[in-house]
């Protein structure tokens, strides 16, 4: 093994003895010693100064998973770009507005958490080069828009955009064809781009706390969707949801529903249906077709006692939860 490769292997080892050997190897070799010094400097900038052991410091930075959560960092030291071995990086709950341009060197990153910062649009564009990302959280950053380059993250399976100020999603979101879990709760969305229909591998979609009055007809190809949360909107029409053959959980609490379409009975895989705090006075008889329904939440709806008893008779296998 080449000396440089051996040094890197020892430096990034989980074994303290190997790291100690790497420190010895670095003595008298300027390039090795420079890397050691850069690691120690980076540690001081990222973490508390209570740790004295250089081996412990280096081991923390040598892991593939790095937690720099809640450090109140306004800037990220450029030294972090040395950590090209990183696969998971949590920078949540800081005060970051930008990332150093060299951040693009972290090409092995698979999971990146940037929630609760103060991200700029230009920062997010830097992320577009991280092609191995499968998980990205940009939650709670007061973002008003996303760059079109978001569509280049072809490996993403989970994207968290909750708690921002988004009024629309760019059509390029539809290019994230591997996406399985999308959370856009607590924004200002009132529609979804037509390109959403391309997200055929979607399993979990959270639209809660937005401005939807109806749900657009983009769900027709989402044959794998199992969980949909559209609570806390002002939805009056859910006709577009009837063609979801894998749906197991549907949450429509705190909306403005007065009726449900009779086609609701087509959602035969449903196990949990939450309709609390709407304006429903009755349910369609087709709901009795939901033979796998185990929980039906009906609190805070103007349903008569007679209607509730009828529903219970239709669904003898189901836990019908009411105000009674």
Mean pLDDT score of the chain, rounded to an integer? 93
pLDDT of residue 192: 95
- Find tokens 């035969």 and name the residue: 268
Q: CATH number of the domain at 64-168, out of 3.40.47.10, 3.90.600.10, 3.40.1310.30, 3.80.10.10?
A: 3.80.10.10
Task: List the domain boundaries for the chain.
Answer: 1-62, 64-168, 203-324
Mean pLDDT of all residues in 232-242: 93
CA-to-CA distance for 214 and 204, rounded, in angstroms? 19
Per-residue pLDDT, 243: 83
Q: How many CB atoms lie within 10 A of CB 37?
A: 11
Q: Quick check: 313 pLDDT over 90?
A: yes
Mean pLDDT of 312-322: 97
Q: Would you state the pLDDT for residue 140?
A: 96
In this prediction, residue 123 carries a pLDDT of: 74
Pairwise CA distance, residues 61 & 57, whole Å? 7
Residues 116-137: tens digit of each pLDDT: 999 877 777 788 899 999 999 9
Reduce the DSSP state of residue 228 to 3 states and report it. Answer: strand
CATH number of 203-324: 3.80.10.10
Least confident of 98-112, 117-131, 180-194, 303-317: 117-131
DSSP state of 126: H
| pLDDT at residue 1, as a whole number | 58
| Residue 112 structure tokens | 């990146």
pLDDT band at 180 (very low <50, low <70, confident <90, very high): very high
Averaged pLDDT for residues 101-128: 90
Common-topology check for domains 64-168 and 203-324: yes
Q: What is the dihedral of CA 167, 169, 171, 177, to 10 degrees?
A: -170
pLDDT at residue 225 is higher than 90: yes
3 state SS of 137: strand
At residue 3, does pLDDT exceed 90?
A: no
Q: What is the pLDDT of residue 14?
A: 79
The predicted structure's pLDDT at residue 246: 95
- The pLDDT value recorded for residue 215 is 86
Most confident among 40-54, 120-134, 243-257 (mean pLDDT): 243-257
pLDDT tens-digit series, residues 145-157: 998 899 999 999 9
Phi, psi dihedral angles at 2 (to 5 degrees): -60, 145
What does pTM read for this prediction?
A: 0.94
Closest CA to 36 of 52, 15, 14, 20: 20
């Amino acid at each position: 093994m080449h000396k440089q490769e051996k040094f890197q292997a020892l430096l990034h080892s989980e074994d303290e003895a190997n790291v100690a050997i790497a420190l010895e190897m670095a003595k008298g070799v300027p390039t090795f010693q420079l890397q050691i010094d850069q690691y120690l400097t980076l540690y001081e900038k990222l973490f508390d100064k209570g740790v004295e052991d250089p081996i412990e410091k280096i081991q923390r930075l040598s892991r593939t998973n790095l937690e720099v959560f809640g450090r109140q960092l306004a800037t990220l030291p450029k030294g972090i770009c040395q950590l090209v071995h990183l696969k998971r990086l949590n920078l949540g709950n800081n005060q970051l507005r930008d990332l150093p341009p060299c951040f693009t060197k972290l090409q092995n990153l698979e999971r990146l958490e940037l929630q609760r910062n103060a991200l700029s649009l230009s920062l997010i564009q830097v992320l577009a080069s991280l092609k191995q990302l499968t998980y990205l959280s940009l939650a709670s950053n007061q973002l008003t828009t996303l760059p079109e380059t978001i569509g280049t993250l072809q490996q993403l399976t989970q994207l968290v955009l909750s708690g921002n100020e988004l009024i629309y999603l760019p059509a390029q979101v539809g290019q994230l064809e591997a996406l399985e879990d999308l959370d856009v709760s607590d924004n200002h969305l009132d529609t979804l781009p037509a390109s959403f229909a391309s997200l055929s591998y979607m399993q979990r979609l959270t639209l809660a706390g937005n401005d939807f009055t109806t749900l657009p007809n983009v769900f027709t190809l989402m044959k794998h969707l199992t969980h949909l949360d559209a609570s806390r909107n002002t939805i009056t029409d859910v006709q577009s949801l009837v063609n979801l053959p894998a749906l197991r959980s549907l949450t429509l609490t705190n909306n403005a529903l007065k009726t449900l379409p009779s086609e609701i009975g087509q959602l035969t895989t449903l196990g949990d249906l939450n309709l609390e705090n709407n304006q429903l006075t009755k349910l369609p008889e087709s709901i009795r077709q939901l033979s796998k329904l185990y929980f039906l939440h009906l609190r805070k709806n103007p349903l008569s006692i007679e209607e509730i008893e009828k529903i219970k008779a239709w669904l003898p296998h189901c836990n019908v939860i009411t105000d009674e």
